[in-house]
Amino acid sequence: MQTDTSFQHPVAAQAQRCREQIRNNVHRGPTAGLAPGAVQANLMILPKDLADEFLLFCQRNPKPCPLLAVTGPGEHSVPSMGADIDLRTDVPRYRVWRHGDLVDEPASLNDVWRDDLVSFLIGCSFSFEEALLAEGIDVRHISQGVNVPMYRTNIPTQGTARLAGPMVVSMRPLKAQDAIRAIQITSRFPSVHGAPVHLGDPSLIGITDINRPDYGDPVTIQDGEIPVFWACGVTPQAVIDAVRPEFSITHAPGHMLITDIPNTKLASL
């Protein structure tokens, strides 16, 4: 992803204004709807030892864990995703975990930053949902104003020595024609989970009650609609939860890192 010094994409300009407001604690809420058109990223921060293994886990599981960027140890800038990004301050709310327990939800990481921390920016379905909405497709949890429903499945991930766990999926109910179109559209976005991993009968992937998601909120499935399931960025978090590492940091749900990258740039073609 190249930055052009003479021309700034309007999406990037707006993303920078949003980050500045977040950095200065003017905005401290969820980021949905901020900087439309800009890629928003999930954040996972781990000490180097486990980070090396988490990188391998992501390489082996690109659908739930599509990596947009990975820093070196201690680095808190990510110039490829935005020249002025500071990962210690540019997320509205963080979650700090010790041995798997949530210990704090600060607005900055200045007090807990360490030189061995590696940050992973992971693609988020906001990007492909924007493309679905642009097509006129009803993205149900958005039209119902709730969080996307997410489920633990019996689809295994490809584990590493310490990291393993089931894939988590998000679900969007769609009419058949919209499902077909959504498969085409999301296939173009491999770095934000890509094509669905399942559609139709939820029990075939180990979901026993579609109306009781494991994360997020239930949504209405109308007559004639098919539940369509995408690999979900909650998967790595669920895996980390199981490992309960000594120290880790994530974004708080819905409080994402806004990058300068236009969603359209993620399209593979």
State the SS3 of the chain: CCCCCCCCCHHHHHHHHHHHHHHCCCCCCCCCCCCCCEEEEEEEEEEHHHHHHHHHHHHHCCCCCCEEEECCCCCCCCHHHCCCCCCCCCCCCEEEEECCEEEECCCCCCCCCCCCEEEEEECCCHHHHHHHHHCCCCCHHHHCCCCCCEEEEEEECCCCCCCCCEEEEEEEEEEHHHHHHHHHHHHCCHHHCCCCCEECCHHHHCCCCCCCCCECCCCCCCCCEEEEEEECCHHHHHHHHHHCCCEEEEECCCCCEEEEEEHHHHCCC
* 208 forms part of the interface with a copy of itself (CB under 8 A): no
Q: With CB under 8 A as the contact rule, which of the stretches 63-71, 145-153, 177-185, 244-252 interacts with a copy of itself?
A: 177-185
Kindly tell me which residue out of 197, 231, 234, 239 binds a copy of itself, with binding defined by CB under 8 A.
197
Q: With CB under 8 A as the contact rule, which of the stretches 65-73, 145-153, 196-204, 206-214 interacts with a copy of itself?
A: 196-204
Minimum gap (Å) between residue 263 Cβ and a copy of itself: 20
Comparison of 57 and 230: residue with beta carbon closer to a copy of itself: 230
* 201 forms part of the interface with a copy of itself (CB under 8 A): yes
Q: With CB under 8 A as the contact rule, which of the stretches 29-37, 89-97, 164-172, 197-205 interacts with a copy of itself?
A: 197-205
* 224 forms part of the interface with a copy of itself (CB under 8 A): yes
* 184 forms part of the interface with a copy of itself (CB under 8 A): yes
Binding site for a copy of itself (CB under 8 A): 176-177, 179-180, 183-184, 187, 195-201, 204, 224, 226, 269
